[in-house]
Chains A and B, each alone.
Chain A
Amino acid sequence: MLLELKNIYKWVNSGSRRIFLLKDINLEVKEGEFMSIMGPSGSGKSTLLNVIGMLDHFNEGTYNFLNEPVHELKEKHRANLYKEYIGFVFQAYHLIDELTVYENIETPLLYKNVKSSERKALVADMLDRFNIVGKKDLFPQQLSGGQQQLVGIARALISKPKLILADEPTGNLNSKQSEEIMELFKDLNNEGVTIIQATHSEMNASYGSRTIHLLDGMRNRTN
């Protein structure tokens, strides 16, 4: 078992009312799965991804990641955990504008204190793999959306995560670029990387092995 969420609640208080962002979420994800989370805007897809990625807290419930009780971990320990095992891919790519393609991919390794020579080798592998060696000295603004997302994925993969969390990874891309990215995810999944993606698109969801539906912060069981 990679991760397990039990009775997860997350809410915000607005005046006297309590608004639930996540309500009684139960979820198990095994290693090697490719799961899609679907649901309309505001249904809690991103929030759930953030909770799984440990970027966001939840108010109630238990969350075990690789048998570590995330809800009981200290901030620093938790950060180490996701730094080690989780890679993030965003809809808006979120590359650092001031860094080149090469440096963007390299940054997570810097924070893991990887030695310079090893960094070079790892980044070179990644550039090779995604066929972007020729673009390594360009800045994000000089790339197309699809290429930027490729860099984003390369950056997520560089630290060899067990799990990739992708929040609408193709939301800003045209259909051809989307297809390429999804094919890439499928390949990664076949290599053993667990993937959880949030998406609006049935088409994208069909690449996964499992789909869950969210509505107003709850698993929509009718579907």
Chain B
Amino acid sequence: MLTHYFKIALRNLKRQKGLSLINILGLSIGLACFSLFLLYSVNEFSFDRFHKDADNIYRAYRWTEAMNGEDVKADIYMPSPLGPALKTDIPDVKEFVRFREDWGDDFIKINDQVSSGPVAYTDPSFFSMFTFPLKYGNPKTALSDLHNIVITEKKAIELFGMDNVVGRTIEIKIDQAFVPFTISAVAENIPANSSIEFELLGNFNFMETTNSGKRGVNNWHRSGYITYLKLNAGSGLLNDIQKLASFRRKYYPEEERRLKEAGHTWEANSPLIRFGLQPLKDGHTDTIIQGGTVDQVNPKTIWILLSIAAGVLFIACINFTTLAIGRSARRSKEVGLRKVIGGQRRELVLQFLSESIILSVISAILGFLLAKLLLPYFNNLSGRELSFSFSSYPEMAWMLIGLVLLVGLLAGSYPAIILSSFNPVEALKSKIKVNGSNFFTKSLVTVQFALSVGLIICTMIILKQTRYMTSKYPGFNKENIVVVDADGTESNEIYPLFKQALLTRTDVSAIAGAELGLGEGTGWSRSGFDYKGTPKSVFEYYVDSDYIPLMGMQLIEGRNFDPTITSDTINSVIVNEAMVKDFGWTIENAVGQVLTGYFRNLGPDKLPTVIGVVKDFNFRPFKEDVKPQMFHQFPDYVPYKYFVKIKPGNPSPSLDAMQKEWNTLAGNLPFKYNFLDENLDNFYKAEKRLSSIIGWAGGISVFLACLGLFGLVALAAVNRTKEIGIRKVLGASVANIVGLLSKDFLKLVIIALFIAAPLAFYFMNKWLQDFAYRISIGWWVFILSGVLAITIAFITIGFQAVKAGISNPVNSLRTE
């Protein structure tokens, strides 16, 4: 019986080539889309599950209760002695591994060739706690020596051109000098669903002998290391908040008392600050506990993306359903006949369902190929390195099989029920006519267009908001500024020479130094202190006196830093308007104010003193309000970033000159630079990503919906051949016929528009609330998307309608 179903399904597919193409094309695009997002979601939800002991590994975090009405804070950067202390004090802790992420500023040397090569450090037991298989080398001894280093396969090939590099030497710049390390093992590449990432991995104990590492040894007040713990099976430590709080109290005995004395308030019955343990597997989807090189993802976001993809797939399924119903007139005879010769309804339902499942299987095969083809682009979009590997994601196999069956059932069940319900006598007399105009089909088409128009409206609004943020004047000039990155160099010495040499050029108008760059990923530093008894938090920027003029910032009170005034490099600060307001000053009386309570001692009786006020500007993304900020030139800061203002136009000559100067000054260290405006644009990566994902989904939805519409109109034209013929004989023009066929469908598109607009408005308004600076949603967005949708729909319909309209009525009437 199944082979019979299979046969008739294939012959039907062959017979109706156009419709089959629409169905298969639509479903395979929908399935390709969905399987990509499914892969993404499975990857996100499977983070860190590949470790054999994943169930027993935990990550330590610091939990700070909501204090002074602020939000709860939690992060995973721990002091170095935490791991050993936990193991000694709490018997449940079986093992600990500390991990220092790479800070992105290491230089390595191979055969006198210097390049940047980020190095992470970890305890030697790393490879016994985690499952990172080694391609070469022994996991037990991989980090046994202080000068051992583990490299990933990918990095090995990048650096050496081969993967078996055990025994080779890599020199790493530690403090001032290059120190040789021996490669002890080559690790397989890090899976895409790992929150622990490294390219080069050194021994934690070695790291603790370096200048920066030394400061952390036995220091409970310097946090920078992730601590992983393995607990004894069945341990209740995870939820034993009292035990964890008293552990904290042992090492920070005065903490709570001091905070209370300083006037901080919090919910009294829970400890203000405590350590906690987070199951390793939960880390990636927990957005409260911050930290790590891979950004945490809110599960809600994953579900939203998956729903959008499901929506696209749903549209493709609807195409199948509506076209199958539209085609039912053709098949009613077959149904009637099968019933007459003994087919039961159940058997007919089964027959139609197997047809749709066969179609779904064919589409799935095509869709899967399509998805594989699109994967690199999708990876670009998602920022992950995903692959369709059933060994990494074993659940994908049954999910995809389930998906194919589900799609077949979803798309096929309604037509199957309708078709199998036909009364055989009427079906044989071909009295039955379920064409594109029944209510169910109409609702489905409306849903399709509402979904796609909704997505298009959302895309336009997100795009507009992103463009608004990237083009809005931030309060300083961001164009034509090159930011040279001198992290890891003797910048104090290089900077003055670099500046002197380049300023002689006509295409360089100014150079300023700062400790930090600007924009995504270039860091910021915020400090908190009590000003006259109230806690304040201020963004601090170390800059030199050329910075404010170079950036074109506007001083509205006081003066800029002056190189000739000595106090300016000791305790003078320039603040912004937001800080003036936050500290309760006025623009007029701000100059001369002293930041009493500032956490650092700048010399005998030296406290930061305001010498000027700049107009507010946006260093942070436009998502946020302008925060209190201050510029200073306190001693022992180093200008690690050089802001070079160049002439508009082709930047290459200036860049070449800088590169040349850099090479003479910094020796063989690589020259790293960025353009300031690009750095700032990177703030909006997430929004850009979102708009391209939703934009693609919207475009594909529109395409699929139109594909379905195309088929429906074609069917309507066929089903109404006789009517059209008669009308033409009676004198209807082509335009009349086109109107006749398009009217019904265009009405649906307009209804869809009215459903989609308020929904899209609601969700986008909610989304925009997250932005301190935002556009208002103009009515033109809805008009534009409406006009767009109607035009596309009309072109789709018109093609078929005109074809029906110009056909010779005599032919259509004769064939009846």
A residues with a Cβ closer than 8 A to B are 50, 53, 55-56, 76, 79, 82-83, 88, 90, 94-99, 103, 107-108, 110-112, 155, 159
Residues of B within 8 A of A98 (CB): 8, 11-12, 15, 334
Q: Of A56, A76, A97, A155, which is within 8 A of B341 by CB?
A: A155
Contact at B343–A111, with CB atoms within 8 Å?
A: yes
Residues of A within 8 A of B340 (CB): 53, 55, 88, 94
Chain B residue with the shortest CB-CB distance to A159: B342
Contact at B11–A56, with CB atoms within 8 Å?
A: no
Residues of B within 8 A of A159 (CB): 342
The verdict on B424 contacting chain A, using a C-beta distance below 8 Å, is yes
| 29 A-B pairs (CB sep. < 8 Å) | A50-B425, A53-B340, A56-B425, A76-B344, A79-B342, A79-B344, A82-B342, A83-B341, A83-B342, A88-B340, A88-B341, A90-B428, A94-B333, A96-B8, A96-B338, A97-B15, A97-B334, A98-B8, A98-B12, A99-B11, A103-B7, A107-B338, A107-B341, A110-B1, A110-B4, A111-B342, A111-B347, A155-B341, A159-B342
Residues of A within 8 A of B25 (CB): none
Contacts A96-B337, A108-B342, A110-B1 aside, 13 further interface pairs with beta carbons under 8 A come to A55-B340, A55-B424, A56-B425, A79-B344, A90-B428, A94-B333, A94-B428, A96-B8, A97-B15, A97-B334, A98-B334, A99-B8, A111-B338
- Binary interface encoding of chain B residues 317-353 relative to chain A, with 1 for a CB under 8 A from any of its CBs, else 0: 0000000000000000110111011111001000000
Closest CB-CB distance, A154 to chain B, in whole Å?
12
Given the known inter-chain contacts A98-B8, A98-B12, please indicate yes or no for A112 contacting B333, CB distance below 8 A.
no
Chain B residue with the shortest CB-CB distance to A56: B425
- Binary interface encoding of chain B residues 9-28 relative to chain A, with 1 for a CB under 8 A from any of its CBs, else 0: 00110010000000000000
Residues of A within 8 A of B424 (CB): 55
Given the known inter-chain contacts A94-B333, A96-B337, please indicate yes or no for A111 contacting B425, CB distance below 8 A.
no
A97→B15 CA distance, assembly (Å): 10
Give 9 closest A-B pairs by Cβ, nearest first.
Answer: A83-B342, A111-B342, A98-B11, A108-B341, A94-B337, A111-B343, A55-B425, A108-B342, A88-B340
Residues of B within 8 A of A88 (CB): 340-341
Residues of B within 8 A of A103 (CB): 4, 7
Contact at B342–A112, with CB atoms within 8 Å?
A: yes
Name the residue in B7, B340, B341, B428 with the highest tally of chain A Cβ atoms < 10 Å from its Cβ.
B341
Chain A residue with the shortest CB-CB distance to B424: A55
Closest CB-CB distance, B604 to chain A, in whole Å?
99
Chain A residue with the shortest CB-CB distance to B5: A110
Q: Of B7, B333, B334, B344, which is within 8 A of A111 by CB?
A: B344
Residues of B within 8 A of A107 (CB): 4, 338, 341, 343
A56→B8 CA distance, assembly (Å): 28
A110→B3 CA distance, assembly (Å): 11
Residues of B within 8 A of A99 (CB): 7-8, 11
- Restricting to B337-376, which residues have a CB under 8 Å from any CB of A? 337-338, 340-344, 347
Residues of B within 8 A of A108 (CB): 341-342
Chain A residue with the shortest CB-CB distance to B4: A110
Residues of B within 8 A of A79 (CB): 342, 344
A47→B475 CA distance, assembly (Å): 87
Chain B residue with the shortest CB-CB distance to A113: B1
Closest CB-CB distance, A129 to chain B, in whole Å?
18
Residues of A within 8 A of B425 (CB): 50, 55-56
- Binary interface encoding of chain B residues 125-146 relative to chain A, with 1 for a CB under 8 A from any of its CBs, else 0: 0000000000000000000000
Residues of A within 8 A of B15 (CB): 97-98
A108→B343 CA distance, assembly (Å): 8
Chain B residue with the shortest CB-CB distance to A107: B341
A12→B428 CA distance, assembly (Å): 19
Given the known inter-chain contacts A55-B424, A94-B333, please indicate yes or no for A111 contacting B341, CB distance below 8 A.
yes
Closest CB-CB distance, B201 to chain A, in whole Å?
64
Residues of A within 8 A of B8 (CB): 96, 98-99
Residues of B within 8 A of A53 (CB): 340
A88→B343 CA distance, assembly (Å): 13
A208→B603 CA distance, assembly (Å): 127
Closest CB-CB distance, A73 to chain B, in whole Å?
15
Closest CB-CB distance, B194 to chain A, in whole Å?
53
A158→B64 CA distance, assembly (Å): 83
Chain A residue with the shortest CB-CB distance to B10: A98
Closest CB-CB distance, A55 to chain B, in whole Å?
5
Residues of A within 8 A of B342 (CB): 79, 82-83, 108, 111-112, 159
